[in-house]
Structure 1
């Protein structure tokens, strides 16, 4: 019944492929015409095209492998680790181009690991791929998004308002505290998408978990309960991820170029001047 409902909603045929291609070309065209680019003036049209193609290839591969992976616990754990590793690499490289990108593993793990552990220990989610993979994937994706948004916004703010950071250091604030005063409000905005999604669920959108449960034949009550659980778990993951990535930025562990080194040299210079 659920398979028939899913097929009726979105049949997998040539028409679907053509529509997807048209939508991707439209997205690339709009980004190119509007000259949408990052702060380095690198256009997003190419990134959109590559993201669409990668998504198609990756989903095709996962669709072919998922049935095999979920049967064995060792393979399942390897697959979950692969998901985590890709998320860390993606988040880290979105935040910085230097070797500190690997610190992105800390906020994602800090947010996701405790939630998954609680779910397994309480028995709410069994150690089976059919349940653990989608739940963990959703949580890792939420941690990735929060880490990227929090880290990027914190570092952008520190770059724009570096004078305020130096002024705080000159007044005697520790490096960490001076950076936190500037970066905390900006990084905290990374929680807004998750908050808005939770506030408007059922009124503006029906998220994927809810729709998927319904298509799978579950009752509306069960589908609503699962979706509520996912949203609340995401809020917990994202809050932890933002808090941890903010702390890493404030301590200079995660930075851009040699920004961390410059900040430390400025701090030593300021303290030396005070000593004189």
Structure 2
């Protein structure tokens, strides 16, 4: 069985390669003038994301061996992951103070799945198993929440006149918003659906490869990866549904732009 160290040795060559790759990525983003809706360039964001990832992964690598031995520390680490996901998702969706509502779709998707895994004994209350699985699910819920929230609010702003027309026809505010936002918010499920549909044919995701490198049989690795993909779909479907409802009810919103 191929050892992980043989596949990707941690040495000076790896460090130099990653640095060059990050610089090249930033250069392409800058040359293409990639920017968000507020004309903020993504080149700087890419550079900061790469540097933050290096620092954060170094810190997690040092801490994870410590927190796995105590349940309170383990649960505290999981809560930290959740809090960061909520802050990241909320601020990606809106600058309004309603950003904290992003906690609801992520929690609604992740908590039932994790609780079921713990109650059935499929995942023990140990960091070695709980942290990576919970992290994958929280990350999937965060991504789905961001995509659904941003697309729904963008669509409502662009098609505001259609919402007003629906209200004039007698629809409730929630129902009018749902009619406009639902199709685009639902597209947040496409990345997860495509990953699940093409697994083994286009890509071999991280859980599968990680299990193989750890010495597991291909059958066990495939079973674990299947579980991760199905659990992710469940989390993301719930996250998108809850996000859509929050947007439709006006609980998750943006500060209106004033046109001079």
Q: TM-score, normalised by structure 1?
A: 0.92
1:74-93 paired onto structure 2 within 5 Å: 74-93=72-91
1:128-167 paired onto structure 2 within 5 Å: 128-167=126-165
Q: What corresponds to 2:188 in structure 1?
A: 190
Instruction: Compare CA radii of gyration and give the structure with the larger one.
Output: 1
Question: Could you tell me how far apart the structure 2 residues matched to 1:74 and 1:26 are?
Answer: 42
SS in 2 for 1:158: helix
Question: Could you tell me how far apart the structure 1 residues matched to 2:256 and 2:45 are?
Answer: 26
Question: Could you tell me how far apart the structure 1 residues matched to 2:22 and 2:158 are?
Answer: 34
Question: Could you tell me how far apart the structure 1 residues matched to 2:112 and 2:238 are?
Answer: 10
SS in 2 for 1:203: coil
Question: Could you tell me how far apart the structure 1 residues matched to 2:40 and 2:251 are?
Answer: 26
Structure 2 counterpart of 1:16, from 3, 14, 17? 14
Q: What corresponds to 2:25 in structure 1?
A: 27
Q: What corresponds to 2:218 in structure 1?
A: 220
Q: What corresponds to 1:241 in structure 2?
A: 239
1:252-271 paired onto structure 2 within 5 Å: 252-258=250-256
- The answer on 1:67 being equivalent to 2:65 is yes
Deviation of 1:79 (Å): 0.3
Structure 1 counterpart of 2:206, from 198, 208, 211? 208
SS in 1 for 2:6: helix
C-alpha deviations, 1:211-269, integer Å up to 9, x for none?
0000000000000000000000000000000000000000000011148xx9xxxxxxx
Question: Could you tell me how far apart the structure 1 residues matched to 2:6 and 2:253 are?
Answer: 49
**Structure 2: 5+ residue runs without aligned partners?**
none
Deviation of 1:98 (Å): 1.3
The Cα RMSD (Å) is: 1.1
Structure 2 counterpart of 1:122, from 120, 123, 139? 120
How many pairs are equivalent? Answer: 258
Q: TM-score, normalised by structure 2?
A: 0.98
1:90-101 paired onto structure 2 within 5 Å: 90-101=88-99
SS in 1 for 2:128: helix
Q: What corresponds to 1:37 in structure 2?
A: 35
